[in-house]
Structure 1
Amino acid sequence: MAVHGRRRRRVWAVVAGVGVVLALAGYLTVRFIRSPVSDGCTAHGADGSTVTLDLDQASHAATIAAVAHARGLPERAVTIALATAIQESKLRNLSYGDRDSLGLFQQRPSQGWGTSAQILDPVHASGEFFDALVRVPDYLGLPVTVAAQRVQRSGYPEAYARHEGMAATLADVLTGREGPGLSCTVGGAYDSGASGGGVATEVEREFGGTPTPLPAAGGGVTYSFEADHAAAGWSLALWLVCHATRLHAASVTFDGHRWSSTASDRGWTRTETGPGRTGTLTVALKR
C-alpha cells in the first residue's frame, strides 16, 4: 500500500509539473509572440462604413494622408491618391511591377518619377503623385477615376472607381475629421530603442509644418494644437497609431482619449486626467 501511495504521488507530481510547464508556455506565447492574424487597423467612417487594413497597409495609407497634409491639399486629393494606391498596389510598397513599375503607385523610373530607391520611399512616391495631380486642370471636380487616370495613364482607366468608397472612408478618417475614428491592434512585442528625436524627425518628414515638438516624460514627444485645429491633431494621432510598431509608441494621448499598445484591442479609451484633455498630443515610447 505504501509503495502504491508513493507511485500515485509521483504520478500526480509529474502531472502537476507538466501542467505548470504548459501554462507557462501558453502565457509566454500570448505575451511575447505577436499574432499576424490579430494585428491590424479598422477605420469607421461617418456614414457607417468600415475599412480594415493590416498594419503595413495602414501605415502607407496614413503616410499618403500625411504628405497631403504637408502640402495643404484637401480631403478629395487624399481620396484620389488612396484609390490609386489601392488599385495599383493594394497599399503595398512593391519592389516589382509591370516593366519597371515600383512602389505604392507603381511609378516608373523610366518615366521620370524618380530613381528606384526614391520611388520605393512612400513619402517621395506620395509627393510625386500629388505634384502630378495638382497639375491636372480642375482635378477636384473630376470623378476619382478620371483624375487618377490623368496622372497614371493606366491601361485599365476605369479600375480606380471600384475603390472610391474605401478610399473616401480612409480619407475621411485619416484627415482627422472623425476624431478617434481609427484604431490599430498590435502585438506590442517589438524591440525598444526609439527616441523622441527620432519620432519628431519622422513626423516632420511626413507632415511638414507640424507644430514644434516639446520633450515629454520618458523620452516621448508632445505637440500642441489650437482648438480649431483638432482635425490636424487627430490626423497626427492616427498616423502615430498606424506607425506605432515602427516608432515603438507605447501610447498616444489626445483630446481626452488614449490608445495604448499594451491594451490596443480596446481601441481609444477616455482619459479624464493627465495629458490629452485639451489640445495636447503626447506620444510615449517603449523603453
Structure 2
Amino acid sequence: MPRTVSPARRHTGRSRLLRITAALVVLAALGGYMTVQYITSSKVVDGCLVESADGSAGERRTYRMSPEQAVNAATISAVGTSRGMPERAVTIALATALQESGLRNIEHGDRDSLGLFQQRPSQGWGTEEQILDPVYSAGEFYRHLAQVPGYSRLPLTVAAQRVQRSGFPQAYAKHEPDAALLAAALTGRTPAALNCAPPRATAASADPAKVRAELVRAFGKNVLPAVDEAPRAGAGAAGATATGIVSVPVPAARKSGSGSGADAASGGAARRGWELAHWAVAQSEALRLGQVSYAGRVWEAGAGWRTEREDASGTDVRIRLAR
C-alpha cells in the first residue's frame, strides 16, 4: 500500500528546499561580487588602460592591464621595433605572451618552461637567467619569427605556432584583438592611447641613470645621444638635465625590416615619438616617472593626457621624474 505524505510535511520540505536554494543564490552573488571587486581593484585602480582611436566613446575598444603587464608589453614592442620588425610581428609576439604567461615574467610552467613566452632551456632557448630577462626572451621570439617565411601574411595562430610548437595552437587566436590594440598603441600608430595610474608612494627615489639604462636595454644604444656628444643648451650628458628630465631625441625616420612586410607608416618620426612616449608611460610606476610630453601633448601621473598646444610637430620626448 503506498505511503501517504501529509500536506504539512510536503510544505515543510518545499520550504526547506527554497531556503537552501536562496542561501546558495546569496553565496553565489557574494562570490561574484568579491571576484568583481578583486578584478576591478587590481586592474582598474592600479593599472593601465589602452584605448583604440576609432569609433565613438562608447564603441572604442579598451584593454586594461597591471603595471607589470604594461612594462612587459612595452618591452616586447620596443625590442621588436628596434630590430626593424613591423607592427604585425609585435601583434604576434604580444598575442603569444598573452597566451603563454598573461604578460607576466613567471618563473615556472610546463616542465622547464619559463618567462613571458614560456621558453625552455632544455630546447635551446637560453639559460634560465637569460629567458627570465624580458629583453632577451622577446629578442629570441623575434629571431625565430623572422625565420618563418611570409609570417606577416599567415594567420596569427599559424605564425605563433611555427615559433612556439605549442600543444594548443588555436589558443593564440583569442588574444589577437587585444594584441592588435596593444601593438597599435605601443608601436606609436595610435597617439596618446596608453594611460597608467600614478606611481605608488615608495621609499625608492627616481633615478635618471636607471631611466636611461632601461631605454638603452629596450631600444638599443642609439636611442640616446652619446655621452661625449655636445649636449643641447640646458641638457646634460646622454639627454639628462639637472632638473630630473630625460630628453629622448626623435629621429626623422627609422628603418623598417627588409622582407618582413613592414608597413610604410612605420618610418614616421611622429610614430617613433609616440612609441617612446608610451614606453615611458608604461614604465611610470617601475621607474617613478611623473610626466611625459611629446608633440604638444602631456601625460601626468594621476591626470592622464592633455593637450598643451595644438602644434603636433615632432619634438623630443621629455620624461620628467616623479618628485
TM-score, with structure 1 as normaliser: 0.82
Q: 1:58: Cα distance to partner?
A: 1.0
**Equivalent of 1:216 in 225, 229, 241:** 241
Q: Is this contact kept in 2: 1:226–1:279, CA < 8 A? A: no
Partners of 1:259 and 1:191 in 2: CA distance: 23
Partners of 1:107 and 1:222 in 2: CA distance: 35
Unaligned runs of 5+ in 1: 1-34
Partners of 1:156 and 1:210 in 2: CA distance: 38
Q: 1:141: Cα distance to partner?
A: 0.9
Instruction: Name 1:10's counterpart in structure 2.
Output: none
1:38-62 CA-partner distances (Å, limit 9, x unpaired):
1111111234311111111111111
Q: Secondary structure at the match of 1:42?
A: strand
1:15-45 CA-partner distances (Å, limit 9, x unpaired):
xxxxxxxxxxxxxxxxxxxx75611111112
Q: 1:271: Cα distance to partner?
A: 1.6
- Where do 1:146-225 residues align within 5 Å? 146-208=158-220, 209-212=222-225, 213-225=238-250
**Equivalent of 1:239 in 272, 279, 283:** 279
Instruction: Name 1:9's counterpart in structure 2.
Output: none
Amino acid at match of 1:158: Q
Q: Is this contact kept in 2: 1:195–1:220, CA < 8 A? A: no
Q: 1:230: Cα distance to partner?
A: 1.1
Q: Is this contact kept in 2: 1:191–1:248, CA < 8 A? A: no
Q: Which has the larger radius of gyration?
A: 2
Instruction: Name 1:281's counterpart in structure 2.
Output: 317
TM-score, with structure 2 as normaliser: 0.73
Partners of 2:203 and 2:188 in 1: CA distance: 29
Partners of 1:277 and 1:176 in 2: CA distance: 15
Q: 1:164: Cα distance to partner?
A: 0.6
Partners of 2:95 and 2:313 in 1: CA distance: 35
Q: Secondary structure at the match of 1:173?
A: helix
Partners of 1:285 and 1:187 in 2: CA distance: 11
Q: 1:176: Cα distance to partner?
A: 0.5
Q: 1:135: Cα distance to partner?
A: 0.5
Q: 1:217: Cα distance to partner?
A: 4.2
Q: Is this contact kept in 1: 2:198–2:285, CA < 8 A? A: yes
- Where do 1:87-102 residues align within 5 Å? 87-102=99-114
Q: Secondary structure at the match of 2:223?
A: coil
Partners of 2:68 and 2:208 in 1: CA distance: 22
Change (3 A) 1:40 1:71: same
**Equivalent of 1:268 in 287, 295, 305:** 305
Q: Is this contact kept in 2: 1:119–1:125, CA < 8 A? A: yes
Q: Is this contact kept in 1: 2:199–2:284, CA < 8 A? A: no
Amino acid at match of 2:51: H
1:69-106 CA-partner distances (Å, limit 9, x unpaired):
11011000000000100000111111100000000000
1:243-280 CA-partner distances (Å, limit 9, x unpaired):
1112121211111111122xx2x31112239xx97512
- Where do 1:5-24 residues align within 5 Å? none
Partners of 1:125 and 1:226 in 2: CA distance: 27
